[in-house]
Copies of this chain bind each other. A is one copy, B any other.
Amino acid sequence: MRVLITGAGGFIGQALAQAVADRRPDLSQLVLTDQHITEGPQGAALQPGDLTDPGFVDALLAPGFDLVFHLASLPGARAEGAPDLGHRINLLAPIALARGVAQRRPGARFVFASSIAVYGALRETVAPATPCEPALSYGAHKRMTEVLLADLTRRGDLNAVSLRLPGVVARPATETGHGSAFMSLLFHKIAAGQGYDCPVPDTARCWWLSRPACVDAFLHASTLDGDAVIQPPVLHLTTGAVAQAVAEVTGQTSRVIWGDDARLTGLFGALPDLDASPALNAGFRADADARALVRNALA
């Protein structure tokens, strides 16, 4: 099986590449691409390049892939401030990539890193019928790509699934452009015994998913058939509860000063309950509890 991972130099992509190399015994070729990529699992082919460049995409896809994980994107906060770049990276590139994959290998499995940003403001329990009214261009582009992938799947051109990811923790403190960066910094700052001015209050209710649980979701999705959109199960916890769990697991004292940024709280810290029963029935799993989340996030 020939596998391609885009965004393979990123936080999730690096871990996914290793997991694919370790856990897909049917793997015959693993190609990793990103704007800059200098390392990967043994035997993987590294193809640095720009997915908004049609010539690069043509050459990249030439071998034909049986399975593609499309993770590359411009993060939401950066895309909101650079709309033309966001348009090219988050909309035009996935469209061209998906169609290019389908052209060379009809029916290929295509696992797309979508986002809970597709929903926009949420008030009631999230379920499969929850409407999508994105409040950021990032979410609008993800939603448009989901619709395209569902149509390509309906036609038999691809066999695609979109995973709607929450903020995945704990991203390196050096990564920028994610409005949800505070969710990761909570882990790093408390674990390091440092103080942290968190922009949202300790009552902010977020959806939490560790990188290992996220990687498991990608791998599991790659083995299934169909199911256009999957909302993976998540932990639904307040920032205060997570801070306490980090302190407990790491033996540190939480020295967080809580803020009141209404915009960030509205985007990432006002999330309602999630009815993840379709994904649970399909075998997807969240981190087991707050302490498991902390251990996985800091692993």
Contact = CB atoms under 8 A, between A and B. Distances in A.
A173 interface: no
A148 B147 CA distance: 12
Interface stretch (A150-158, A174-182, A184-192, A238-246): A150-158
Given A129-B131, A131-B131, A155-B137, A147 B150 contact: no
Interface in A52-102: 83, 87, 91, 95, 99
Nearest to A103: B84
A143 B135 contact: no
A1 interface: no
A144 interface: yes
Contact-residue bracket for chain A: 20 to 34
Interface string A125-155: 0000101111101001001100110110011
How many copies of this chain? Answer: 2
A140 B157 CA distance: 14
Contacts of A135: 154
A151 B133 contact: no
Contacts of A157: 83
B155 A83 contact: yes
Interface of A: 83, 87, 91, 95, 99, 129, 131-135, 137, 140, 143-144, 147-148, 150-151, 154-155, 157
Given A83-B157, A140-B148, A144-B144, 10 more contacts: A83-B155, A87-B99, A133-B150, A134-B150, A135-B154, A137-B151, A137-B155, A140-B150, A144-B147, A147-B147
